Amino acid sequence: MRIFASNKLFFLGALARLVRCTADKCASFGAGLSIPDTKVIACSHEANGTVLPLPSTVASCGGPNLTAIITTDLCRVVLLVATSSSSEVQLEAWLPDPDAWNTRLLATGTGGIGGCIDYPTMQNGAGLGFASFGMNAGHNGSTGFDFFLNKPEVLNDFGYRSLHVEASVGRQVAEQYYASSSFKKYYAGCSTGGRQGFQNAHLYPDDFDGLLLGSPGVNWLRIVASKGILTHRIGWPNLDSPAYAAGPLDGVADGIIDEPTRHRFDPQTLACGTGLLNATLCLTPQQVSSVRTAYEPITDSGGHIVYPAFELGASTNVFSANQQNGTAKMSYTILQDFWRGAVYNDSTWTPENFSTADMDFALAANPGQVNAWDTDLSEFHGRGGKIISYHGRSDETVTSALSEWFYSDVQSNTNLTLEETRAFYRLFFIPGMHHCGGGPGAWSIGNAQKYPYDQSLLDPSHNTLLALIDWVENDKTPETLIGTKYQDDVRTVLILV
């Protein structure tokens, strides 16, 4: 369904003009920018190395003290695009000075429940010379539900529209700034950003030439629902239940398992009496049983498997560490937020009784078309688009088996042989990588989480974005990627969940 055709943005009336632009060489561009339904709310020329304050950022996006680092001399433009009479998408454009522009556009997505601009990826992109764009997916904030409650158009932005708006307005901004209309367009996103990219390839196949899609949150509603279902399988919210098994589970998941699908795990080996775990951590018979079910796939009300089992070696914290000071409370907040604001329209709903029926109800409603299992990519394939996707084998949030399911569904629904599929879509599994980055494996492949880019590894073998460019522009198919592991790998940026 293509509701939002490019160049036909919902028209609210007169073009809104410059609101606030400082008097520098970027200002006349901002003042003269004319794109339907789009108003410029700030613009300024920024010098390489500037630490940019972002004081209007909401707390759940890291504000008000959040800063971004300017990585090349650039013109920064902040825009608001009206997408209906009751919704708007905030965009941020970082336009390297023309002599430093690499003649490419890079758009970025969001994580989790949506509304935080991905500054780390923009920083890396601008430093490489890309005209780089960020968006808030139509709302501000990564926790909460008020932004969705009774706001179907805001849900449409989050679900399927905001990336297309970014692509469409971003292209026009770059065309006007550089007075050029022939440049390649790329997108890089992880988690929800991965979902946004796959969905965009299906709905708006002309937006991008290359997509870099990490740990994609396709089947998003079931990913979120799985946390509620799995935590119930281990006894939550009854913390006194003999089957409750949070502590032991937290203790067993670490280490690199290169190919988790080749290993089997029987929780019986962790039972009390085997000697493997001490008396504090070992599993009672009821706990052995609940841990077993935690590693089984999710089924719908009809008994069909709809979400694969967690990989062995992935941390189970997202569904097991669900208590605060002895009271049952899910640490994974997206389930409560989304079901409150978008699924049930009930600001008091809590997940203590979450069941398969709640998951199926959400799937049937599919607010904002957020679920996105759009596996017919024939138009994107037909125009020569390329996709590099990657997924950590120790992903604790989106189980990596989902990417396998998605890949084979794309192959069959796009009517391609495996060879034809591999000629436009590659999927790399990264042993020991957590969700989007981090973990005991050699996970750094130029993903956003390690800022700034390692200058010594700016080549297509080590940097996935450069590998994608080489594929799109030089027809060099990426056969392998080399991951890097840093001794002090601390995730220093906004966490995309």
Ligand X SMILES: *[C@@H]1O[C@H](CO)[C@@H](O)[C@H](O)[C@H]1NC(C)=O
Annotated catalytic sites, by residue?
191, 395, 435
Whether residue 294 contacts residue 288, with contact meaning beta carbons closer than 8 Å, is answered with no
Pick between residue 344 and residue 405 the one whose CB is nearest to ligand X: 344
Pick between residue 251 and residue 297 the one whose CB is nearest to ligand X: 251
Minimum distance of ligand X from residue 215's CB (angstroms): 26
Q: Nearest to residue 253, comparing CAs of 399, 402, 447?
A: 399
Whether residue 21 contacts residue 44, with contact meaning beta carbons closer than 8 Å, is answered with yes
Pick between residue 65 and residue 180 the one whose CB is nearest to ligand X: 65
d(CA 394, CA 451): 21
Q: E-assigned strands of 2-147?
A: 38-46, 51-53, 67-69, 74-84, 87-96, 104-108, 131-135
Residues of this chain that bind ligand X (CB under 6 A): 41, 48-49, 56, 65, 71-72, 80, 88, 90, 100, 127, 139-140, 150, 278, 280-281, 324-325, 345, 350, 352-353, 376, 378, 414-415
425: enclosing H helix or E strand: strand 425-430
| CA distances in angstroms from 112 to 67, 163, 181, 241, 275, listed in the order given | 20, 15, 33, 31, 40
- Cα atoms found within 13 Å of the Cα of residue 374, Cβ hemisphere only: 23
Amino acid identity of residue 194, one-letter, is: G
Minimum distance of ligand X from residue 442's CB (angstroms): 25
Strand order in the sheet with 210-214: 38-46, 74-84, 87-96, 131-135, 104-108, 184-190, 210-214, 386-392, 425-430
Minimum distance of ligand X from residue 269's CB (angstroms): 16
Minimum distance of ligand X from residue 163's CB (angstroms): 16
Q: Going by C-beta distance under 8 Å and a sequence separation of 6 or more, which residues neighbour residue 87?
A: 138, 151, 153, 154, 156, 157
Minimum distance of ligand X from residue 462's CB (angstroms): 18
Pick between residue 117 and residue 334 the one whose CB is nearest to ligand X: 117
- Provide the H-helix boundaries in 16-112: 27-32
249: enclosing H helix or E strand: helix 246-252
Pick between residue 7 and residue 348 the one whose CB is nearest to ligand X: 348
Minimum distance of ligand X from residue 494's CB (angstroms): 14
Pick between residue 393 and residue 450 the one whose CB is nearest to ligand X: 450
